[in-house]
Chains A and B, each alone.
Chain A
């Protein structure tokens, strides 16, 4: 069974919007990593800055949400071009998205809480 056209269009829209978010998030994330490494911040120092910080928590939560939306839609498209389409692959992609979200939010929680 194939997904209806409206849902296909909404998936496309979700992928575009999540891509725009990712473009910003990835740049901010890279700058953050480079800053942390070049200044030789220890794990304890990093946690000191992230714990209880609503801004970093919010930023990384948004990043995780964008990844969890963007990646499964893209993988679904790749599967379709290799001839694998239909309900089965759609369900698997939902599982992939939820797994990514779970891992990501767990990591965000670990550095913020």
Chain B
């Protein structure tokens, strides 16, 4: 097998691509390639990973221009010509090489009131949520997000409007809007409404296209828009 020609971003916001030659192996993932570079060619390369199997969501990078989990991306799928260009995720500040600062990404989850607010105590009985109920199904469709940032990196609206909450935070808010136990619904709808919230979404669907978990944040954002309009018309906003 031929060697891979790999370009990896080096530096921070300012920097350049550096070229490496990496042996092409059977069933090789992009994360394997990055790891090879760091272990064998250049130990100063900074990158993030933990589980290697698509559970933790920490190894997302831009691979040949597309945001992906590198651990679940086979080289054969993305580099038919044995060329790889690996860059940090878009729309996030770069700390070093392909490591981005995710704090703003997660701060936006907090801004979107992405935490559960209940009213029951341990002395109350369990809430009964029917699996076939409309709300539970909406939650099921969106709940598997692991916060990897791929959708946020793929979103054009985040690029144009840096204060936009982004698909992941809004998707999280949508799961809580459909959580019948949650008691902070009005505050949450107010937090995700408006020009920096769900109403900024252009329905490009890049998030839906790229989400490695097959979630459609676009559908959740559309749901938020409907819920907010209805709350506004009822005078609850």
* Minimum C-beta distance from A45 to chain B (A): 43
Residues of A within 8 A of B157 (CB): 81
Which residue of A2, A3, A12, A85 is within 8 Å of B225 (Cβ)?
A: A12
Whether A5 sits at the interface, judged by CB under 8 Å, is yes
- A interface with B by C-beta (< 8 Å): 2-3, 5-6, 8-10, 12-13, 77, 80-82, 85
Q: Are B232 and A80 in contact (CB under 8 A)?
A: no
For B194, give its contact among A8, A13, A81, A82 (CB under 8 Å): A8
- A-B contacts counted at CB < 8 A amount to 35
B195 within 8 A of A: yes
Neighbouring B residues of A80 by C-beta, 8 Å: 161, 195
User: Which of B161, B190, B232 contacts A13, CB < 8 Å?
Assistant: B232
Beta-carbon nearest neighbor of A7 in chain B: B194
Q: Write out, one digit per residue, whether chain B residues 77-92 have a CB within 8 A of any chain A CB (1) or not (0).
A: 0000000000000000
Q: Does B41 contact A (CB under 8 A)?
A: no
Chain B interface residue number, banded: 10 to 19
A80–B162 alpha-carbon span in the complex (Å) = 11
Nearest-neighbor residue (CB-CB) of A13 within chain B: B229
Within the complex, the shortest CB–CB distance from B191 to chain A, in Å, comes to: 9
CB distance from B111 to the nearest CB of A (A): 13
Given contact pairs A9-B199, A9-B228, A85-B195, enumerate 6 new A-B contacts (beta carbons under 8 Å).
A5-B237, A6-B232, A8-B195, A9-B194, A10-B232, A12-B225
Q: Is the interface of A mostly helix, strand, loop or mixed?
A: helix
- Chain B, residues 169-210, CB within 8 Å of chain A (1/0): the string is 000000000000000000000100111010100000000000
Question: Are the C-beta atoms of B160 and A5 separated by less than 8 Å?
Answer: no
Contact status B199-A8, CB under 8 Å: yes
**Distance, CA A8 to CA B191, complexed state (A):** 13
Q: Which of A2, A5, A85 contacts B190 (CB 8 A)?
A: A5
The complex places the Cα of A2 from the Cα of B229 at a distance, in Å, of 20
Chain A residue at smallest Cβ distance from B231: A9
In B47-67, the 8 Å CB interface with A consists of none
Given contacts A12-B199, A12-B229, A13-B229, contact A5 B193 (CB under 8 A): yes
CA distance A2 to B232 in the complex (A): 18
Question: Do A6 and B237 touch across chains, with their CB atoms under 8 A apart?
Answer: yes
